Amino acid sequence: MDEKLPFLLTLQEYEQRRNRIDLRAPEQRRLQLEEQSHELREGLAQARQELLRGQRQITGAERELEEREEELRQCLGQQALSKKPEAFQALGAKIAQLREKISQSEDSILQELEAQEEKKRDFARLEEETLERIASLEKEIMAQEALLAESEEALRVLEEKIKTFRESIVDAECLSLYDQVRARGVGFPWIVAVAEHRCQGCHIRLSPEQEVFFHQNPHSYSFCEQCGRLLHRPSSRAGTEDGEVEADSA
Ligand SMILES: [Zn+2]
């Protein structure tokens, strides 16, 4: 077997494992969860404002009612002191009007108070549900953060492994061969086995010349004439840690 192959394949395995580590998904999920949590808080704050607005309206109406009652008292006082019958009558009409208005205000305040009580109950329910939901989102956010930290650590370990492994390869030609094939931009994996007379990267049949080459040099490697990947016979994969290699467009 060509002595370069096990090194090349091992290096490729490490890179593949590194490429599979997904930092973006947990990060995006975390942002999404934070956004949800933020929206829930905003909604709750708005509902609280709405409740306070209702309370302020009632307070305003109550103040207005008090003013009318005061006005009524004054009119009644004036009427008691009035000497002219016209003035007495005019005040009488005003008093009747004020009494009518006061009675209407009292009714509407009562209604508003009842409605406000219901709003308060609704808000309490909403607050409880929202806070529960936020707490569960926070838990999920923490889980995503842990996952992200874990992935970052795995990435760091693999980067280190790749670096150490590259440094351990004394054959400079071997490394340059690897980097050269990798730089061709053919998509992962760039070192593939021949199976059923086909390149397992582009799945195109080997030329008769290549068939002859592999027949004569079963443990060597060659380049795919179609896609440029480095080709080898499957047996030379022995010695790598992970047998499974999936093609992707990375
Ligand atoms: Zn190919």
What are the pLDDT digits (tens) for 112-128?
999 999 999 999 999 99
Cα of 245 from ligand 1 centre, angstroms: 15
Angstrom distance (rounded) from CA 229 to CA 193: 10
Q: What is the mean pLDDT of residues 179-205?
A: 91
Give pLDDT tens digits for 89-110: 999 999 999 999 999 999 999 9
Of 28-32, 56-60, 212-216, 244-248, the range with the lowest mean pLDDT is 244-248
What is the Cα Rg of the chain in Å?
41
Cα of 201 from ligand 1 centre, angstroms: 5
Which CATH architecture does the domain made up of 19-167 adopt?
Orthogonal Bundle (1.10)
Cα of 14 from ligand 1 centre, angstroms: 22
pLDDT band, residue 1 (cuts 50/70/90): low
Cα of 155 from ligand 1 centre, angstroms: 29
Domain boundaries, the chain: 4-16+170-237, 19-167
Give pLDDT tens digits for 32-57: 999 999 999 999 999 999 999 999 99
Cα of 21 from ligand 1 centre, angstroms: 26
Q: What is the mean pLDDT of residues 221-226?
A: 92
Percent of the chain with pLDDT over 90: 81
Cα of 177 from ligand 1 centre, angstroms: 17
Cα of 111 from ligand 1 centre, angstroms: 81
Cα of 233 from ligand 1 centre, angstroms: 13
Residue ranges in the chain assigned as alpha helix (H): 4-20, 24-81, 85-168, 172-182, 208-216
| Residues flanking ion ligand 1, Cβ below 5 Å | 199, 201-202, 224, 226-227, 229
Cα of 94 from ligand 1 centre, angstroms: 101
Strand partners, 195: 198
Cα of 222 from ligand 1 centre, angstroms: 11
Q: Is the pLDDT of residue 229 over 60?
A: yes
Q: Are 4 and 180 in contact (CB under 8 A)?
A: no
Q: What are phi and psi of 205, to 5 degrees?
A: -65, 140
Structural tokens at position 83: 């000497």
